[in-house]
Structure 1
Amino acid sequence: MPDRPRSSPRPLSVVVAGGGTAGHIEPALALADAVRRLRPDATVTALGTERGLETSLVPKRGYALELVPPVPLPRKPSKDLAALPWRILKSVRRTRKVLRAVDADVVVGFGGYVALPAYLAARTPGTRMPVVIHEANATAGLANKVGARHAAAVAAAVPGSGLAGPVIGMPLRRAITTLDRDALRAKARAHFGLDPHAPTLLVFGGSQGARSLNEAVAGAAAELGRAGIGVLHAHGPKNTVEVDQVPGAPPYVAVPYLERMDLAYAAADLAICRSGAMTVAEVSAVGLPAIYVPLPHGNGEQRLNALPVVEHGGGEIVEDADLTPERVVEMVVPMLTSGERLSAMSAGARRTGHADADETLARMVLEVVEGGDGATGTMGGVARQEENER
Structure 2
Amino acid sequence: MTSVVLAGGGTGGHIEPMLALADALLRRGAGSAPGASPTRITCLGTARGMETRLVPARGYDLRLIPPVPLPRKPTLDLLRVPGRVRASVAETRALLRELDADVVVGFGGYVALPAYLAARRERVPVVVHEQNALPGLANRIGARLAARVAVTVPDTPLRGAEHVGMPLRTAISTLDRPARRAEARATFGLDADRPTLLVFGGSQGAASLNRAAVGAADALTAAGVQVLHARGPKNTDVAVPARPAGSAPYVVVDYLERMDLAYAATDLALCRAGAVTVAELSAVGLPAAFVPLPIGNGEQRRNALPVVTAGGGLLVDDADLSPSWIEEHVVPLVTDPQALAGYADYAAAAGSREADERLADIVLEVAGR
TM bracket (short chain): over 0.9
Contact 1:105 1:369 in 2 (8 A): yes
Match of 1:388 in 2: none
Distance 1:235 1:90 in 2: 41
Distance 1:116 1:123 in 2: 11
Distance 1:208 1:68 in 2: 26
What amino acid is aligned across from residue 298 of structure 2 in structure 1?
Answer: G
Contact 1:219 1:243 in 2 (8 A): no
Match of 2:181 in 1: 185
Match of 2:34 in 1: none
Match of 2:126 in 1: 131
Distance 2:40 2:17 in 1: 17
Distance 1:52 1:320 in 2: 27
What amino acid is aligned across from residue 187 of structure 2 in structure 1?
Answer: H
What amino acid is aligned across from residue 337 of structure 2 in structure 1?
Answer: G
Distance 2:149 2:222 in 1: 50
Match of 2:84 in 1: 87
Distance 1:147 1:174 in 2: 28
Match of 2:263 among 237, 262, 265: 265
Q: Secondary structure at the match of 2:66?
A: coil
Contact 1:222 1:245 in 2 (8 A): no
Contact 1:221 1:245 in 2 (8 A): no
Distance 2:55 2:355 in 1: 20
Match of 1:146 in 2: 141
Distance 1:79 1:113 in 2: 18
Distance 2:308 2:343 in 1: 9
What amino acid is aligned across from residue 313 of structure 1 in structure 2?
Answer: G
Match of 1:65 in 2: 62
Contact 1:226 1:246 in 2 (8 A): no
Distance 1:76 1:303 in 2: 21
Match of 1:22 in 2: 12
Q: After superposition, where does 1:1-390 map in structure 2 within 5 Å?
A: 11-40=1-30, 41-124=38-121, 127-163=122-158, 164-240=160-236, 241-248=238-245, 249-371=247-369
TM-fit CA distance, 1:193? 1.4
What amino acid is aligned across from residue 308 of structure 1 in structure 2?
Answer: P
Moved more, 20-29 or 88-97: 88-97
TM-fit CA distance, 1:165? 2.1
TM-fit CA distance, 1:243? 1.4
Q: TM-score, normalised by structure 1?
A: 0.90
Moved more, 256-265 or 32-41: 32-41
Moved more, 237-246 or 132-141: 237-246
Q: Secondary structure at the match of 2:145?
A: coil
Q: Secondary structure at the match of 1:302?
A: helix
Q: Secondary structure at the match of 1:166?
A: strand
Contact 2:116 2:142 in 1 (8 A): yes
Q: Secondary structure at the match of 2:83?
A: helix
Map Cα deviations across residues 365-386 of structure 1 (whole Å, 9 max, x no partner).
1111111xxxxxxxxxxxxxxx
Distance 2:76 2:66 in 1: 17
Contact 2:282 2:352 in 1 (8 A): no
Map Cα deviations across residues 264-297 of structure 1 (whole Å, 9 max, x no partner).
1001110001001111000100000100000111
Distance 1:30 1:314 in 2: 24
Distance 2:212 2:100 in 1: 51
Moved more, 115-124 or 61-70: 61-70
What amino acid is aligned across from residue 144 of structure 1 in structure 2?
Answer: N
What amino acid is aligned across from residue 84 of structure 1 in structure 2?
Answer: V
Q: Secondary structure at the match of 1:194?
A: coil
TM-fit CA distance, 1:96? 1.9
TM-fit CA distance, 1:103? 2.0
Contact 1:24 1:110 in 2 (8 A): yes
Map Cα deviations across residues 45-88 of structure 1 (whole Å, 9 max, x no partner).
11111221111211121111111111111121112211111111
Structure 1: gaps spanning 5 or more residues: 1-10, 372-390
Contact 1:48 1:54 in 2 (8 A): yes
Distance 1:199 1:148 in 2: 44
What amino acid is aligned across from residue 70 of structure 1 in structure 2?
Answer: P
Contact 2:68 2:81 in 1 (8 A): yes
Contact 2:243 2:250 in 1 (8 A): no
CA RMSD of aligned residues (A): 1.1
Distance 2:191 2:284 in 1: 21
Distance 1:115 1:276, change over 3 A: same
Moved more, 95-104 or 233-242: 95-104
Contact 1:46 1:63 in 2 (8 A): yes
TM-fit CA distance, 1:39? 2.6
Contact 1:131 1:151 in 2 (8 A): yes
